[in-house]
Structure 1
Amino acid sequence: MLNSKQCDAFLAVAEIGSFDLAAERLCITASAVTLRVQSLEKTLGHLLILRERPCRVTQAGQSLLHYLQHSRLLEHNLIQELTGQSASSHFYRLNIAINDDSLTTWLLSTIQETLILDKIVLHLKVDDQTQTHHLLETGVVNACISTEVTAMKGCLAEPLGTMTYRMVATPQFVHLWFPNGINRENLKITPAVIYNNKDQIHTDIILKHYGLTPETYPHHYIPSAAAFAEAIYLGLGFGMLPDYQIGSRLETAELIEILPQFRTDIRLYWHHWKQQSVALEKLTTTLLQQAHLKMNQA
């Protein structure tokens, strides 16, 4: 039999990535967390946690993490089935990983009614759409929105819809920086707006077609979807915006699509465990029915 206190200590470290923060969650000392994890590793004969910053689970730790997650999910489902709610709250809590563009644009309005009617509260983890899947793999979240097509073992990956991105800038910006069109030389001196160093949409286009890396041209890093769009609206740089944020600005000439040949469609998938809680099942149903409609509302 696995020791429950040792498993709780391991689970806390795996989810948070820190022995100190795990100790705060469990209301014990960090040394006690360390001893419990070490004892569990000795019992199982495998190293479970890589002591890094942040801590990471090993392959053996991943197997244990999946087992504990399923056990916790089954217990949670049983409590909800018998009582209609969790043991400590009238609300159901779901941990979801999502990309900032989806959060800023279509997500909340899509699931608003479900959250209210079914008393669901969300704890959101925001990361690039290419990275959110890793948060599900490491057990930090119950589900995620990702560009990853393949579901990991025990999960499903279901298509949500497509977000279309266009390279845009204001007319004033284009007149100032691209008066004679866009070429490699003027891109070297023209400021771009990029979400962060994980955002590959913009950088891959410029690298592939103009042979320029981000180190060779000026750029803003603005890791907020709302502020990112605002920077482009203010003429601070050019960048890739989804249609939802562009809205009617192309028709009103507030923005210009400067490289239409490099328009990019990003297909998003909803990753979740096959065995879901009642709350997550309802949220999944709403997303699969309505997400693609919201994404297309430009």
Structure 2
Amino acid sequence: MVDFSQLATFQAVIDTGSFEAAARELHVTPSAVSQRIKALERSVGQVLVRRAKPCVATPAGEALVRFAGQVALLEREALAQARDGTRISIVVNADSLHTWFLPALAAVPGPAYELHTDDEHYTADLLRSGTAMAAVTADNAVVQGCRIERLGSMRYLACGRPGVTAAVLYNRKDELQHRFSGGEIGEAHYVPSASAYLEAIRLGLGWGMVQEWIAREDIAAGRYKQLHPDRHLDVPLYWQYWRIGSAVLEELTAAVKAAAAPYLEP
């Protein structure tokens, strides 16, 4: 059986990045933190914390990070008997965050939200590590301990001013342009902001993949053209979240599905 004081200490070490900072947060000595972590590791039979700067969970410890977060969420819900004081950590791709995702959060206003952003093909990694409780992801492989709901596909069009040869990418994880063109894209500009990325294409800095509903409005306004009118790229998106019977997560899941529906292809 897990000792919950040891589990809370383990979570504090991972959250703060050091035994000393965890001791300050828990109002105990660093020696007490070290003893609790060692006792937890003995009971599990695995090294759970990589003693580095900052301290991070080992692969064996990542499952325990998820479990500690789940326990903390259920405890907060039970103590509050509502959503007051509940914090939900979510990872979402930048395009969804820039367009349809925030209305889902507004529809469930009780919790405090902590948002992380990453490419949709990498967001599930934060679920696996226990950093996030839920994710908008392109990964349809169910993370252990999670449920998955298909949201639909985000459709992208290749857009830019006529004659541009350089590409605009969100960051070095952004592979949409490579996937659309079938390989190399030549010169590239990296613009790690959803709004600035769109503005770079509008200003003629290069071409890039733009969500269809945004692209149609810009094309109609003459800001740029669809470079390949007969082609598009669909990216399936999924909602994965902890399977722990949380009322807040269930309500948020319904809100996410409703918010995504008008913007994604079935």
Same fold per superposition (TM over 0.5) = yes
TM-score interval for Structure 1 and Structure 2 normalised by the shorter chain: 0.7 to 0.9
Structure-2 residue corresponding to 1:186: none
Question: CA-atom RMSD, angstroms?
Answer: 2.8
The 3 A distance-change label for structure 1 pair 169 and 21 is farther
CA distance in 2, matches of 1:200, 1:270: 21
Q: How far did residue 270 of structure 1 move?
A: 0.8
- The residue type equivalent to 1:150 in the other structure is A
Structure-1 residue corresponding to 2:170: 195
1:267 aligns with 2:236: yes
Structure showing the higher helix proportion among its residues: 1
The 3 A distance-change label for structure 1 pair 205 and 5 is same
Structure 1: 5+ residue stretches without partners: 178-189
Structure-1 residue corresponding to 2:147: 156
CA distance in 2, matches of 1:24, 1:226: 40
CA distance in 2, matches of 1:274, 1:30: 34
The 3 A distance-change label for structure 1 pair 67 and 167 is same
1:137 aligns with 2:156: no
Q: How far did residue 133 of structure 1 move?
A: 0.8
3-state SS of 1:293 partner: coil
Q: How far did residue 280 of structure 1 move?
A: 1.9
1:72 aligns with 2:72: yes
1:11 aligns with 2:11: yes
CA distance in 1, matches of 2:23, 2:215: 45
Which of 220, 223, 247 is equivalent to 2:192? 223
CA distance in 2, matches of 1:225, 1:141: 21
1:60 aligns with 2:60: yes
Q: How far did residue 167 of structure 1 move?
A: 1.1
Structure-2 residue corresponding to 1:184: none
Q: How far did residue 271 of structure 1 move?
A: 0.5
Q: In the TM superposition, what whole-angstrom CA distance separates every residue of 1:20-40 from its partner, at most 9, and x where no partner exists?
A: 765665466777655543443
Q: In the TM superposition, what whole-angstrom CA distance separates every residue of 1:47-80 from its partner, at most 9, and x where no partner exists?
A: 1123456654334213333433343343234324
3-state SS of 1:280 partner: helix
Give the paired residue count. Answer: 264
CA distance in 2, matches of 1:45, 1:94: 30
Q: Which moved more, 1:253-262 or 1:283-292?
A: 253-262
The 3 A distance-change label for structure 1 pair 51 and 255 is farther
Question: Contact 1:163/1:267 (CA < 8 Å) preserved in 2?
Answer: yes
Residue identity over aligned pairs, in percent, reads 33
3-state SS of 2:173 partner: coil
Q: How far did residue 91 of structure 1 move?
A: 4.7
Structure-1 residue corresponding to 2:111: 120
Structure 2: 5+ residue stretches without partners: none
The 3 A distance-change label for structure 1 pair 23 and 133 is farther
3-state SS of 2:235 partner: strand
CA distance in 2, matches of 1:21, 1:169: 49
Give me the TM-score of the superposition, normalised by structure 1: 0.77
Structure-2 residue corresponding to 1:104: 98
CA distance in 2, matches of 1:25, 1:36: 15
Question: Contact 2:150/2:238 (CA < 8 Å) preserved in 1?
Answer: yes
The 3 A distance-change label for structure 1 pair 128 and 22 is farther
Which of 219, 223, 227 is equivalent to 1:254? 223
CA distance in 1, matches of 2:159, 2:132: 34
Question: Contact 2:139/2:238 (CA < 8 Å) preserved in 1?
Answer: yes
